[in-house]
Amino acid sequence: MSDNESEFKLEMPKVGIIKGVLAKDIEVVGGKVVNIRTCARPYKNMYSVAQLRTIKKVIEKYGSGKVHLSPRHNFEIPEVKQKEIENVLKDLYISGLFPGGAGTSVRNIFTCPDWCSKQIRPVQELGERVSFNSGDKDMPNKVAISFAGCSNSCSRPQNADIGITAIGEVGVNDKTCPDDCKECIRSCQFDAMEKHNGTITINDKCTYCCKCVESCPETVLSIKKTGFRITVGGKEGSNVMFGKECALFVDDFEAFEIIEKVLRHYQEKVAFRPGSSKKKERLGEVIERLGLEDFMS
C-alpha cells in the first residue's frame, strides 16, 4: 500500500452522530460489527455495473455476503467488522458511493425512472439538483423528499415530507368527438369528463393526471401545459399522514425554491414533541400545529 493509500480518510456526514464517532449511516451492532448505508452522490436511482461489482466485492470481502436495497435506493451492507470500516469506505468512495441517507437529515431523494412511458414531465434532473443542494442536510428530524413523473406516484410523494408530482392541464381540440366514443370518460377515475353533442368538457373534479389524453383514440384531447403539484407534511410510519397541497403548476425553478423555503421554515418553526425534551416534530406535525398558511408565511 502506498503512502497516499494509507492516508485515505473520508469525512463522515455530521448528522446523527453515534457515541461521538460514527454517523447513523454506520450503525453499531453489538459493539463488534456495523451496518453501512451507502448511495450515490448526487442522487441517482441507477447504479453502474462498476458500482454493483464494488458492492459485491465489499459484501464478500468485508461483510456477510448480504446486501439490502432500501425503498429509497440506499444499499445497506450489514455485519461489517468495525476495523474494516476505512477499507470499506475507501472502496465505495472510489466507485462514487458515499455513506448517507439516514439520521435526522434530508434522506436520499426519491424519484421514479426517467424512461417511464407514463411520465408527464421528467423529474430525475430536478431530483439530482435537490440532492446536490440539500442531500444529507442536518434537520430537526428526518425529511423525505419524493418526485413523481405522473399521478401514478410510484415514488409515493403523497406521504413524503415534501412531494413533487408532475401534472398536466388537458386541452380539448376543435375536432368533434365521434358519438360512439367514450374512451376518455371510461379512463377517468374522478368523473371529470363530460360529453354533450360530441363536445368534451372537463369539470372541476380533474386531478390533472392526463390519463384521458392517453386513452383518446381521436386526438381530441391534448396536454396544454405541464408543471408540478407540491404537497408538504406527509409521513409514513405508524401514524401515516398525507401531504397538503401548497403549490400547483409550478416549473422546475419554482419547485426548487419552494423546497428550499419549506426546509428553511421547518428549521425555524419546529418545536419539541409534546412531553419530550429530545425528539423534535416531523414537518407534518409542525404544519398540523401552525396550519399550512402560517407555516408557509
Taking only the tens of pLDDT, the chain with its 297 residues reads 455 555 666 655 443 333 333 455 666 666 667 788 888 877 777 889 999 999 999 999 998 899 988 888 888 888 888 788 888 888 998 998 888 767 788 988 889 888 888 899 999 999 999 988 998 888 999 999 999 999 999 999 999 999 999 999 999 988 778 888 889 999 999 999 998 887 889 999 999 999 999 999 888 999 999 999 999 999 988 889 999 999 999 999 999 999 999 999 999 999 999 988 889 999 999 999 999 999 999
- Indicate the pairing of strand 17-18 with strand 22-23: antiparallel
Rounded Cα distance between 244 and 163, Å, is 9
**Three cell numbers written together for 122:** 421528467
Domain 110-296 class?
alpha beta
Return the residue matching grid coordinates 468485508.
Answer: 62
Please report the pLDDT score of residue 23 as a whole number. Answer: 52
Helices 252-269 and 283-290 sit at what angle, rounded to 10 degrees? Answer: 80
Peptide bond preceding 42 in cis form (omega within 30 of 0): yes
Please report the pLDDT score of residue 11 as a whole number. Answer: 59
Peptide bond preceding 71 in cis form (omega within 30 of 0): no
The sign of the dihedral angle between the CA atoms of 72, 123, 281, 265 is positive
**Three cell numbers written together for 270:** 419546529
**Three cell numbers written together for 36:** 453501512
Please report the pLDDT score of residue 19 as a whole number. Answer: 32
Going from N- to C-terminal start, the domains of the chain cover: 3-99, 110-296
Domain 3-99 class?
alpha beta
